[in-house]
Amino acid sequence: MNAILAPAVVPHHHRSLVPGLLLAVGLALVAWQFGRWLPLVGGPVFGIVLGILVRNLFKPGAVFVPGIRFGGREVLQWSIVALGFGLSLTQVAKTGLQSLSVTLATTAAAFASALLLGRALKVHGKLQLLIGVGTAICGGSAIAAVTTIVRPDDHDTAFAISTIFLFNVVAVLLFPLLGHLLHLSDLGFGLWAGTAINDTSSVIAAGYSYSHAAGDFATIVKLTRATLIIPVCLALALAVAWRAKRAAKQGGAAGGFSMRRIFPWFILWFLAASALRTAGLVPASLQVSIQFAAGFMIIVALTAIGLSADLRRMAATGHRPILLGLGVWAAVSICSLLVQLAIGKL
């Protein structure tokens, strides 16, 4: 046993990751079980909540920091790659074209309202971006993907995910009621839920509580909408790269910029995984295992992000980000209905 644990066997860098990763994985297992009991909330949300509680009640020491940081970044990137194996590009093409106008309009509304309301509420730029992306595309997954590019503070990431989750819960309870009051068709409600509710699990919950047909349509619309994370991440990466290059030139620092270092390579791996899925090269039995692994890795990553979140700093941020999240969510929901009314899809 001692020989197995001898320092010479495991590289020092890898050994330094073990305490933090074990902590994140252990809490993620608990969160995963809670998520099975309460699927409406889901494992990822339980993960980030447990992480925040442990971070602020027990404050893990410095020995845990490398593994926690690794979990919140590298594990997160590979979980997004694994998700690609579950997304067939051909499966969503037809529905994607049908919903494209509404999806683009709501995405534009999310970013515009996040910028304008964020400035009015004096919410700083990166938190504006996280809330805008999370509302526009796919909730916590989009926030997680963008986090790997813009590198916000971990407490900002946790705050944005918590804000998005709050309005996911409201949407699941409110959307079906409003849909019936508005006499929306199954496809009309599915398109509304798929373009205006943030998280995939919440879209599914709201859609199928309305009708089976609405749930099917909403799910495909949501998957199509999720693919927008690719161009958004690429655009953000180019913007960050341009700013870094400009700063390096102004500072006279040679070699201060590296496109190879800043480019989100995980997106290319995500596309490769999706291409394999589309080509039918991934056995169905393996897809199930990969999707389970991807879901659990997301829980681990968000748990690690929670373990990095400082509640005191979040409290100091105040109520303004929550008001921002409410405003952006309302703008997206109303925009979706108006565009559908204009093109006759209600």
Report which DSSP code applies to 62.
G
Report whether pLDDT(14) > 70. Answer: no
Per-position DSSP letters for 110-122, written without gaps between them = HHHHHHHHHHHHT
3-state helix, strand, coil in the chain (%, to 5): 80, 0, 20
Report domain extents, the chain.
86-152+163-301+318-343
- Is the CB of residue 270 less than 8 Å from the CB of residue 87? no
253 versus 278: which is more confidently predicted?
Answer: 278
Mind listing the pLDDT tens digit for each residue in 47-88?
Answer: 888 988 999 898 888 899 999 989 887 887 788 788 778 777
Give the rounded percent of residues in the chain with a pLDDT score beyond 90. Answer: 18
**96-110, 158-172, 175-189, 262-276, range with greatest mean pLDDT:** 175-189
pLDDT, tens digit, 9 for 90 and up, residues 118-169: 999 888 888 888 888 888 887 777 787 788 788 777 778 877 877 887 787 7
pLDDT at 156: 80
Mean pLDDT (the chain, rounded) = 80
Question: Which pLDDT score is estimated for 13?
Answer: 56
Could you report the per-residue pLDDT of 228-245, keeping only the tens digit for each?
A: 877 887 888 888 777 767
259-262 contacts, C-beta under 8 A, 24 or more apart:
262/149, 262/237
254 confidence band (pLDDT: 50, 70, 90): very low
